[in-house]
């Protein structure tokens, strides 16, 4: 069955004419028709006849030199595709038709991929749960009553359910990492700038908080997507090149067993984490330790309050300016989360931004000191297990009341603020069959080394063999 085949195998079969692009498209469209009603993962799907016609056209062209020739993908509904609305899940922008593609979308099209539609997202991309007033919530593919996390929850559910071979996402506050953890797949937040973005007139006093990322069942699958969308662009001064292929990254046994991972756990009790999450992560770390990977549990003396304060300042100011740029006439029409950020951001001064910058730099120095003794650091990929999908956001962890709408996402900001590449790897399931993941965090621009580790990890543990029971 195609859902059990790797992206590499599918591409090989198309090149050898064992599989037509039309057959591939029909297969994925059939799965979308069968399962997407329950999942609500893919929205704004192009007409079936149009997509079949596009597939047949590609079959006839025989563009086998294009790396992703005929591979279908749906784009998260925060990125632009000419001919498809970008709604942001927000009623006020439900009819917005972009005039140009996002940079990585252009690269996907050039590589031969077929854009079939959009994946669902949090409204305006704000919040760690995929729910909005245009399309409703996306369901977790392991329990349709639960959240898929967010804001790339549509992408994660679609990939985990075999509706797409892989997917793009965006990640600011864990928006690729959290959904991956909730779906037993891999979610990657690269070093900002690795995947280029047209940043326009972005305020240079605000660091880059958001980056495109990707989700896939395996790092090998993800590599085929990454190789086509990474690299610098003249429209992104922040962008850079690695000049190596993700597909070619390997790590031998000798190098693998010499890896040292610092387990940050709950950051010396600072993070509030639901019961059993740490247990599942530590059980998987013990398995790595049994393979002679060096694991050290840390109790870091780290300035968490400065990290949080800096993050709140930059995030709110960024969302405030993004809201102004969207020219939303009535702010009261936005969600509580977006209004919270807007109101917080409008009062932030240049002096506040400088304080936040100083706080960030201090935290970066602290984490660099920790990295002196480790190849990677590790944190859970969530603070709570999947929750009721109809909630706007969780308000408690265990019995503790949370002081902001996004405190349950705090575990993601270490990577996001300090520009550290991070990949969520699956670690197991709770007693209710709900999946969990763990963040593996690398040094800035150590993306290839991080990816090589993730490949080896999947090779050993083969988490991709565990799939949701959808029928």
CA–CA distances in Å: residue 407 to residues 172, 309, 311 = 14, 12, 12
At 2 the pLDDT is 84
State the residue for tokens 């864990």: 174
State pLDDT tens for residues 240-292.
Answer: 999 999 999 999 999 999 999 999 999 999 999 999 999 999 999 999 999 99
At 442 the pLDDT is 98
C-alpha to C-alpha distance for 143 and 355, rounded to whole angstroms: 43
CA–CA distances in Å: residue 179 to residues 152, 157, 169, 170 = 6, 8, 10, 11
Q: What are phi and psi of 178, to 5 degrees?
A: -65, -50
State pLDDT tens for residues 204-248.
Answer: 899 999 999 999 999 999 999 999 999 999 999 999 999 999 999
Classify domain 2-465 at the CATH topology level. Amidase signature (AS) enzymes (3.90.1300)
> Helix, strand, or coil here: 394?
coil
pTM of the full predicted structure? 0.98
Q: What is the DSSP string of 285-328?
A: HHHHHHTT-EEEE------HHHHHHHHHHHHHHHHHHHHHHHT-
At 201 the pLDDT is 78
For 247, how many CA atoms within 13 A lie in the half-sphere containing its CB?
11
The bridge status of strand 422-429 relative to strand 211-216 is unpaired
At 3 the pLDDT is 77
At 94 the pLDDT is 97
Question: If the chain, 471 residues long, is cut into consecutive pieces of 10 residues, what is the mean pLDDT of each piece?
Answer: 90 97 98 98 98 98 97 98 98 97 98 98 97 98 98 98 98 98 98 95 91 98 98 96 96 93 97 97 98 96 96 98 94 97 98 98 97 98 98 95 97 98 98 98 98 98 97 86
At 4 the pLDDT is 87
Q: What are phi and psi of 263, to 5 degrees?
A: -90, 110
Q: Is the CB of residue 154 less than 8 Å from the CB of residue 387?
A: no
């Amino acid at each position: 069955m195609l859902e059990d085949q790797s992206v590499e195998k599918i591409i090989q079969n198309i090149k050898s004419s064992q599989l037509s692009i039309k057959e591939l498209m029909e297969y994925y469209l059939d799965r979308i028709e069968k399962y997407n009603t329950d999942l609500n993962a893919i929205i704004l799907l192009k007409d079936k006849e149009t997509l079949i016609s596009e597939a047949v056209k590609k079959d006839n062209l025989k563009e086998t030199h294009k790396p992703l020739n005929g591979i279908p993908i749906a784009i998260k509904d925060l990125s632009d595709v000419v001919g498809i609305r970008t709604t942001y899940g927000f009623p006020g922008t439900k009819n917005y038709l972009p005039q140009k593609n996002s940079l990585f979308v252009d690269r996907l099209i050039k590589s031969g991929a077929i854009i079939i539609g959009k994946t669902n997202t949090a409204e305006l991309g704000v919040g760690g749960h995929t729910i909005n007033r245009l399309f409703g919530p996306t369901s977790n593919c392991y329990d349709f009553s639960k959240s898929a996390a967010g804001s790339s929850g549509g992408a994660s559910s679609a990939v985990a359910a075999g509706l797409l071979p892989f997917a793009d996402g965006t990640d600011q506050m864990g928006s690729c990492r959290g959904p991956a953890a909730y779906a037993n797949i891999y979610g990657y937040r690269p070093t900002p700038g690795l995947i280029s973005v047209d940043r326009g007139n972005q305020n240079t006093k605000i660091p880059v908080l958001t980056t495109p990322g990707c989700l896939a069942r395996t790092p090998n699958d993800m590599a085929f997507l990454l190789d086509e969308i990474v690299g610098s662009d003249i429209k992104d001064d922040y962008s850079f090149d690695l000049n190596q292929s993700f597909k070619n990254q390997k790590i031998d046994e000798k190098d693998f067993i010499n890896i040292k991972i610092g387990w940050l756990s709950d950051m010396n009790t600072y993070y509030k984490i639901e019961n059993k999450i740490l247990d599942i992560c530590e059980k998987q770390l013990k398995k790595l330790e049994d393979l002679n990977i060096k694991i050290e549990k840390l109790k870091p003396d780290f300035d968490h309050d400065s990290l949080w304060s800096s993050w709140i300042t930059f995030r709110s100011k960024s969302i405030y300016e993004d809201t102004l740029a969207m020219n939303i006439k009535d702010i009261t029409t936005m969600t509580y989360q977006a209004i919270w950020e807007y109101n917080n951001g409008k009062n932030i001064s240049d002096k506040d931004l400088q304080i936040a910058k100083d706080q960030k730099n201090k935290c970066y120095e602290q984490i660099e000191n920790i990295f002196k003794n480790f190849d990677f650091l590790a944190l859970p990929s969530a603070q709570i297990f999947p929750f009721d999908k109809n909630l706007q956001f969780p308000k408690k962890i265990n019995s503790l009341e949370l002081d902001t709408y996004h405190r349950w996402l705090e575990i993601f900001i270490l990577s996001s603020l300090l520009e550290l590449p991070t990949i969520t790897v699956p670690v197991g399931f709770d007693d209710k069959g709900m999946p969990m993941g763990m963040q593996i965090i690398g040094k800035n621009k150590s993306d290839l080394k991080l990816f090589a580790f993730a490949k080896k990890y999947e090779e050993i543990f083969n988490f991709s063999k565990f799939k949701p029971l959808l029928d």
